[in-house]
Amino acid sequence: MKISDRDVLLVIDVQNDFCTGGALAVPGGEKVVPAINRIAQKFDNVVLTQDWHPRDHVSFAPNHAGRQPFQTIELDYGTQVLWPSHCVQGTAGAQFHRDLDVTRASLVVRKGFRRGIDSYSALFENDHRTPTGLLGYLRERELKTVFVAGLALDFCVRFSAEDARKAGLQVVVIEDACRAIDLDGLVAATHQSFRELGISVVSLEAFL
């Protein structure tokens, strides 16, 4: 696969709390790191995202009396999964995995920092209206194709890929540079959504 200067690698939430031993560990989460580091060498444009929550964030189950992680509540923007407290601003859990090569990144997008709304997507918060600023960055630099990798495939990778595609960008998900939570069969739903939207799914081999 030939990478051009109009392509960007979008690396989603490769943070300690999403890796083994973290507060919201994605199974095998840290295993994406070598693949991402290898792929990133081929890109002139690399963007990292970072979950960056306040301690009193609305998505944290401990902030709702009687609620348990992975239950859902209804908020004004729709259904919200309640998560264990994770990626709290300034904590070790919010830091990027120590082996992730961050030196190639031209931008770090922090998301989920507003107390009252969660942010899965790198482009919009969960109301699908409040922008993170990334879409403007991509358009200003005339970046046309977004390659997405990171954590977790069925949440933040999926929402980021979908929003980028709906914004008119070409989108490619590098599946073996992602790992999934697979909450209630969401991986199958994710693949179905990708097919419907015309989001390509490729393997690491495409870059070798």
Annotated catalytic residues are 13, 111, 156
Is 156 in contact with 184 (CB distance < 8 Å)? no
Facing residues of 96 across strands? 15
β pairing state of 7-12 and 145-151: parallel
CA atoms of 73 and 79, how far apart (whole Å)? 6
Residue 117: in which H helix or E strand, if any? none
Q: Degrees (nearest 5) of the Cα angle 104, 102, 123?
A: 85
3-state DSSP call for residue 10? Answer: strand
CA atoms of 165 and 12, how far apart (whole Å)? 16
Could you check whether the bond before residue 188 is cis, i.e. omega within 30 degrees of 0?
no
Give the list of residues 6+ apart from residue 101 with CB closer than 8 angstroms, or none. 36, 37, 40
Q: Degrees (nearest 5) of the Cα angle 16, 21, 25?
A: 70
